Structure 1
């Protein structure tokens, strides 16, 4: 496959030596990060007309490059197919190409159903995936109808060959969701986290990101104020600081293989919206660079807690100060949790999430 046939090169923008644009290159490097901008919004009843992402790039390129070591490539703008199916097929090919070269693709723009392409590309290579989605809507429409943003999750969850391992849905808003969908997710033991729970410290939500293979963000889950930030703007949602904090947490995932940021309103006339998306990407890149700098070998402290007549174990990573729940000596068999979970355990309380894991 010639990836150049799928992409329009990114424009050349000026950047100072200390800025991120000075290290972003058009060439893709093994083990690096690839930015891919998409325009196909047909899955959200939009169009596939090419969007102009120059303002976003300009805002991103002018941010600090810090002391990051991971090479970053801006592959340019992905060329939409004649049909949405063509777009998904070609995007999966591009993503598979990146993944096989240990390149982490970041897909920016397009409608939320493109998350299905990210999942399919990763699922073709890896097994037992953990998928984290930030989305105010939990839509589970008929997976047998043509792929769109309302049924892509149903298609992912109903995959028979190499089914998904874990799914965490973050930021849903109760007033905007069908009750039956929420009940169904609870019955199959997938985690659904309300917006209200995410408006506190990111520390309590971080465990859901820790082992994510795929993360997707629907920009509709971010609040819009004077101008639409997303294709379907919402008055309620994560604020600017909160979404940037969660983007960093996504980048810190131990297993992250791809991430998508969808339903962004690229036609926004407000510079602040372009700045916000650029800073979301920047914090994601910061998280990835921090995670790659962590030592591979870790040491863990074990804390035993007696609750009624049961003995449970919490473990603390002495390097990162992150917490786990479980008795196994193999940390991958323990459940990521927060320090608050440990503190509540000492008081005799285990959350339903920990209780389900123990069972």
Structure 2
């Protein structure tokens, strides 16, 4: 691990931690401190760290920020019945340039994922997701990214990258590793028609706020197929956060954003998770508490992971076949968890990018719809991407 990138957790937070209950989370995790140095990561499964970079925020006016308030509250929470060892690495300081910070974050995430450690990042501006994504350049050929966000953040990719255009850069910059991009909780009036059309033309997935609020379980199969999950705190409705953090009267409520974080944690594929667009202020307690609970639910999810994707053993699943519009659809249901998958047929005459995506996570409802002669939308989009 490149230690030079990190500054230790502040003595102020550590002093506060000393006053907590022996059962509190802050007493159970390894912490990078000035006195004890960088923690040993041999048995660690999850690391939390901050990235103090927000210069590519379109509204940046020179303010600096710290994560002390989040840490104080996060440390004071009580862990669940967890079997994972957690470490707080401190913060990646803003580099000389934003690109320096990106490099530090990319290098760190790459090293951690290689060691099967899940990085949980608390950040400034959401363009840091670009560096998280680039960490996978040498790790795997195709990456699935889920953004929990009110906006698509496609932006104008011909201009320098900002926190409202980083996805456009991800799509257009080489190497082209992005297989699927899904936005969860978007609000139509914050996105231009051109961006909506581009999402459709690229067969990317988007789930409106209303859909998620009506049925938050829609998020589960999307997260089950994700590698990188990025949460923009502006997706949360204004009544749930502090004054400076307020963005829109509509958005996911506290319970919904925590459920989404838990689904991300439960996914066996999610190997990095970030919460961005945090804006500290004097009346900050509500946002700090919400971010702490989002992190808590993600870690809770990781501790509930079950590997139910062994389809080599006939006894571990049930198989269902149905015919929709002359297309044979094959579904699998895990006997262990009850989770569902749908098979994507290979097209032998095209250059196939989907070798490890033959089974697409789906819901029981998709099978019911297929029995009623409706093609599941997730299957259709994945099939079309496979045909390009």
Superposition TM-score, scaled by structure 2 size = 0.85
CA distance in 2, matches of 1:310, 1:147: 42
Shift in alpha-carbon separation, 1:25–1:187, aligned structure 2, 3 A: same
8 Å Cα contact 1:143/1:155 also seen in 2 = yes
Are positions 1:6 and 2:18 aligned together? no
Alpha-carbon distance, 1:274 to partner:
1.5
8 Å Cα contact 2:49/2:88 also seen in 1 = yes
Q: Which of 64, 67, 78 is the equivalent residue of 2:78?
A: 64
Q: Which of 13, 37, 53 is the equivalent residue of 2:50?
A: 37
How big is each residue's C-alpha offset from its partner over 1:261-309, in whole Å with a ceiling of 9 and x where there is no partner? Answer: 0001222514222211111100000111111x54674611011224455
Superposition TM-score, scaled by structure 1 size = 0.91
Q: How many residues align?
A: 358
Tell me the residue number matched to 2:280: 266
Shift in alpha-carbon separation, 1:318–1:161, aligned structure 2, 3 A: same
Q: Which of 348, 367, 370 is the equivalent residue of 1:342?
A: 367
Moved more, 163-172 or 207-216: 163-172
8 Å Cα contact 1:40/1:47 also seen in 2 = no
How big is each residue's C-alpha offset from its partner over 1:129-172, in whole Å with a ceiling of 9 and x where there is no partner? Answer: 11111111123233243221122111101133242111111211
8 Å Cα contact 1:223/1:229 also seen in 2 = no
Q: Secondary structure at the residue paired with 2:129?
A: helix
Q: Which of 119, 144, 153 is the equivalent residue of 1:105?
A: 119
Alpha-carbon distance, 1:337 to partner:
0.7
Alpha-carbon distance, 1:121 to partner:
1.0
Moved more, 210-219 or 47-56: 47-56
Shift in alpha-carbon separation, 1:348–1:229, aligned structure 2, 3 A: farther
- For structure 2, the 5+ residue unaligned runs are 32-38, 347-354
8 Å Cα contact 1:113/1:147 also seen in 2 = yes
CA distance in 1, matches of 2:61, 2:138: 28
CA distance in 1, matches of 2:288, 2:40: 25
Tell me the residue number matched to 1:18: 23
Q: Secondary structure at the residue paired with 1:116?
A: helix
Are positions 1:235 and 2:260 aligned together? no
Q: Which of 251, 254, 277 is the equivalent residue of 2:265?
A: 251
CA distance in 2, matches of 1:190, 1:213: 15
Shift in alpha-carbon separation, 1:183–1:229, aligned structure 2, 3 A: farther
Shift in alpha-carbon separation, 1:300–1:48, aligned structure 2, 3 A: farther
Tell me the residue number matched to 1:352: 377
8 Å Cα contact 1:42/1:111 also seen in 2 = yes
Moved more, 133-142 or 325-334: 325-334
Q: Which of 127, 141, 151 is the equivalent residue of 2:165?
A: 151
Tell me the residue number matched to 1:288: 302
Tell me the residue number matched to 1:323: 340
Tell me the residue number matched to 2:319: 302
Moved more, 233-242 or 80-89: 80-89
Moved more, 301-310 or 247-256: 301-310
Shift in alpha-carbon separation, 1:229–1:264, aligned structure 2, 3 A: farther
8 Å Cα contact 2:228/2:271 also seen in 1 = yes
Are positions 1:119 and 2:156 aligned together? no
8 Å Cα contact 1:39/1:48 also seen in 2 = no
Shift in alpha-carbon separation, 1:48–1:89, aligned structure 2, 3 A: farther
8 Å Cα contact 2:150/2:235 also seen in 1 = yes
Shift in alpha-carbon separation, 1:88–1:310, aligned structure 2, 3 A: closer
Moved more, 339-348 or 8-17: 8-17
8 Å Cα contact 2:146/2:181 also seen in 1 = yes
Shift in alpha-carbon separation, 1:270–1:49, aligned structure 2, 3 A: closer
8 Å Cα contact 2:308/2:334 also seen in 1 = no
Q: Secondary structure at the residue paired with 1:217?
A: strand
Alpha-carbon distance, 1:315 to partner:
1.1
Shift in alpha-carbon separation, 1:228–1:331, aligned structure 2, 3 A: same
Alpha-carbon distance, 1:40 to partner:
1.5
Alpha-carbon distance, 1:339 to partner:
1.1
Alpha-carbon distance, 1:327 to partner:
7.1
